[in-house]
Protein backbone atom coordinates (compact mmCIF):
# COMPACT_ATOMS: atom_id res chain seq x y z
CA UNK A 1 0.00 0.00 0.00
CA UNK A 2 1.52 3.29 -1.07
CA UNK A 3 1.47 6.36 1.11
CA UNK A 4 -0.37 9.36 -0.26
CA UNK A 5 1.47 12.68 -0.05
CA UNK A 6 0.25 15.41 2.31
CA UNK A 7 -0.79 18.18 -0.05
CA UNK A 8 -3.90 20.29 0.26
CA UNK A 9 -6.46 19.55 -2.45
CA UNK A 10 -6.39 21.67 -5.59
CA UNK A 11 -10.12 22.28 -5.20
CA UNK A 12 -10.86 25.30 -2.98
CA UNK A 13 -14.03 23.76 -1.47
CA UNK A 14 -12.10 20.61 -0.55
CA UNK A 15 -9.26 22.73 0.89
CA UNK A 16 -11.75 24.55 3.08
CA UNK A 17 -13.42 21.29 4.16
CA UNK A 18 -10.08 19.66 4.99
CA UNK A 19 -8.69 22.61 6.96
CA UNK A 20 -11.98 23.33 8.75
CA UNK A 21 -12.36 19.66 9.69
CA UNK A 22 -8.86 19.49 11.14
CA UNK A 23 -9.37 22.75 13.06
CA UNK A 24 -12.75 21.62 14.43
CA UNK A 25 -11.22 18.28 15.40
CA UNK A 26 -8.39 19.92 17.31
CA UNK A 27 -10.78 22.37 19.01
CA UNK A 28 -13.16 19.58 20.10
CA UNK A 29 -10.33 17.41 21.43
CA UNK A 30 -8.84 20.39 23.30
CA UNK A 31 -12.28 21.27 24.67
CA UNK A 32 -12.71 17.75 26.01
CA UNK A 33 -9.30 17.59 27.69
CA UNK A 34 -8.36 21.13 28.74
CA UNK A 35 -10.40 22.58 31.61
CA UNK A 36 -11.58 26.11 30.87
CA UNK A 37 -10.66 25.88 27.17
CA UNK A 38 -14.23 26.39 26.02
CA UNK A 39 -17.88 26.07 26.94
CA UNK A 40 -20.11 23.82 24.91
CA UNK A 41 -23.59 25.11 24.05
CA UNK A 42 -26.50 22.76 24.72
CA UNK A 43 -29.90 24.29 24.15
CA UNK A 44 -30.23 27.52 26.14
CA UNK A 45 -27.25 26.85 28.42
CA UNK A 46 -23.56 26.30 28.08
CA UNK A 47 -21.70 23.36 29.61
CA UNK A 48 -18.32 23.95 31.21
CA UNK A 49 -15.57 21.33 31.35
CA UNK A 50 -16.82 19.66 34.56
CA UNK A 51 -20.38 19.55 33.28
CA UNK A 52 -19.21 18.09 29.95
CA UNK A 53 -17.67 15.14 31.76
CA UNK A 54 -20.41 14.83 34.37
CA UNK A 55 -23.13 14.61 31.68
CA UNK A 56 -20.87 12.49 29.45
CA UNK A 57 -21.25 14.94 26.57
CA UNK A 58 -17.43 15.07 26.64
CA UNK A 59 -17.36 11.53 25.25
CA UNK A 60 -19.34 12.69 22.20
CA UNK A 61 -17.18 15.80 21.86
CA UNK A 62 -14.01 13.71 22.00
CA UNK A 63 -15.27 11.09 19.51
CA UNK A 64 -16.55 13.85 17.21
CA UNK A 65 -13.21 15.64 17.42
CA UNK A 66 -11.24 12.51 16.60
CA UNK A 67 -13.53 11.80 13.66
CA UNK A 68 -13.23 15.36 12.30
CA UNK A 69 -9.45 15.27 12.61
CA UNK A 70 -9.27 11.90 10.83
CA UNK A 71 -11.73 13.11 8.21
CA UNK A 72 -9.69 16.25 7.45
CA UNK A 73 -6.49 14.23 7.05
CA UNK A 74 -8.41 11.69 4.96
CA UNK A 75 -9.51 14.40 2.51
CA UNK A 76 -5.93 15.64 2.21
CA UNK A 77 -4.66 12.08 1.68
CA UNK A 78 -7.35 11.41 -0.98
CA UNK A 79 -8.93 8.58 0.99
CA UNK A 80 -11.95 7.26 -0.94
CA UNK A 81 -14.08 6.87 2.20
CA UNK A 82 -14.05 10.64 2.76
CA UNK A 83 -16.01 11.25 -0.41
CA UNK A 84 -19.08 9.41 0.88
CA UNK A 85 -18.45 10.62 4.44
CA UNK A 86 -18.61 14.21 3.18
CA UNK A 87 -22.06 13.62 1.72
CA UNK A 88 -23.37 12.41 5.09
CA UNK A 89 -21.05 14.53 7.26
CA UNK A 90 -23.78 16.26 9.29
CA UNK A 91 -25.21 12.87 10.27
CA UNK A 92 -21.74 11.60 11.24
CA UNK A 93 -21.20 14.74 13.33
CA UNK A 94 -24.52 14.27 15.16
CA UNK A 95 -24.16 10.53 15.71
CA UNK A 96 -21.83 10.61 18.77
CA UNK A 97 -24.20 13.04 20.49
CA UNK A 98 -27.24 10.91 19.65
CA UNK A 99 -25.51 7.77 20.95
CA UNK A 100 -24.46 9.38 24.24
CA UNK A 101 -27.99 10.78 24.60
CA UNK A 102 -29.54 7.33 24.11
CA UNK A 103 -27.04 5.39 26.25
CA UNK A 104 -26.52 7.81 29.16
CA UNK A 105 -29.32 10.34 28.80
CA UNK A 106 -26.79 13.08 28.09
CA UNK A 107 -28.10 16.42 26.81
CA UNK A 108 -28.36 16.41 23.04
CA UNK A 109 -27.16 19.65 21.41
CA UNK A 110 -27.83 18.37 17.88
CA UNK A 111 -31.30 16.82 17.73
CA UNK A 112 -32.61 15.28 14.52
CA UNK A 113 -35.67 17.51 14.09
CA UNK A 114 -37.38 18.68 10.89
CA UNK A 115 -35.20 21.76 10.48
CA UNK A 116 -31.97 19.85 10.93
CA UNK A 117 -33.14 17.05 8.64
CA UNK A 118 -33.89 19.56 5.88
CA UNK A 119 -30.42 21.08 6.29
CA UNK A 120 -28.85 17.61 6.17
CA UNK A 121 -30.75 16.80 2.97
CA UNK A 122 -29.69 20.06 1.31
CA UNK A 123 -26.07 19.44 2.38
CA UNK A 124 -26.17 15.90 0.93
CA UNK A 125 -27.57 17.08 -2.41
CA UNK A 126 -25.05 19.92 -2.80
CA UNK A 127 -22.11 17.69 -1.79
CA UNK A 128 -23.20 14.90 -4.10
CA UNK A 129 -23.48 17.29 -7.04
CA UNK A 130 -20.05 18.77 -6.30
CA UNK A 131 -18.17 15.57 -5.46
CA UNK A 132 -19.54 13.47 -8.29
CA UNK A 133 -20.34 16.13 -10.88
CA UNK A 134 -17.40 18.55 -10.84
CA UNK A 135 -14.10 17.63 -12.44
CA UNK A 136 -11.91 19.19 -9.71
CA UNK A 137 -13.51 17.02 -7.03
CA UNK A 138 -13.46 13.87 -9.17
CA UNK A 139 -9.79 14.45 -10.02
CA UNK A 140 -8.91 14.85 -6.34
CA UNK A 141 -10.15 11.35 -5.59
CA UNK A 142 -8.54 9.63 -8.58
CA UNK A 143 -6.17 6.99 -7.29
CA UNK A 144 -2.67 7.27 -8.68
CA UNK A 145 -0.98 4.08 -9.77
CA UNK A 146 2.39 3.30 -8.10
CA UNK A 147 4.12 3.86 -11.46
CA UNK A 148 2.85 7.46 -11.77
CA UNK A 149 2.76 8.42 -8.08
CA UNK A 150 6.32 9.80 -8.04
CA UNK A 151 6.03 11.88 -11.21
Residue ranges covered by each domain of the chain: 12-140
Say if residues 32 and 61 touch (Cβ distance below 8 Å).
yes
DSSP 3-state assignment of 131?
helix
Q: Indicate the average pLDDT of the chain.
A: 88
Query: Residue 105 pLDDT > 70, yes or no?
Result: yes
Which of 1-5, 13-17, 65-69, 91-95 has the weakest average pLDDT? 1-5
In this prediction the pTM is: 0.86
pLDDT on residue 108: 81
The residues, ordered by sequence, that sit 6+ positions from 107 with a Cβ below 8 Å of its Cβ are 42, 43, 47, 55, 57, 101
* 38: region left, alpha or beta (phi > 0 left; psi from -120 to 50 alpha): beta
Amino acid sequence: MSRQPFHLPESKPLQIVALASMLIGVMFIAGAFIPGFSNFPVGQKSLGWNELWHTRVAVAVLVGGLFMLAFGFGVVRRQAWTRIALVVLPVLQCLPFEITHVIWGAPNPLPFDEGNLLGILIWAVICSIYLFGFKAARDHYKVQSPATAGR
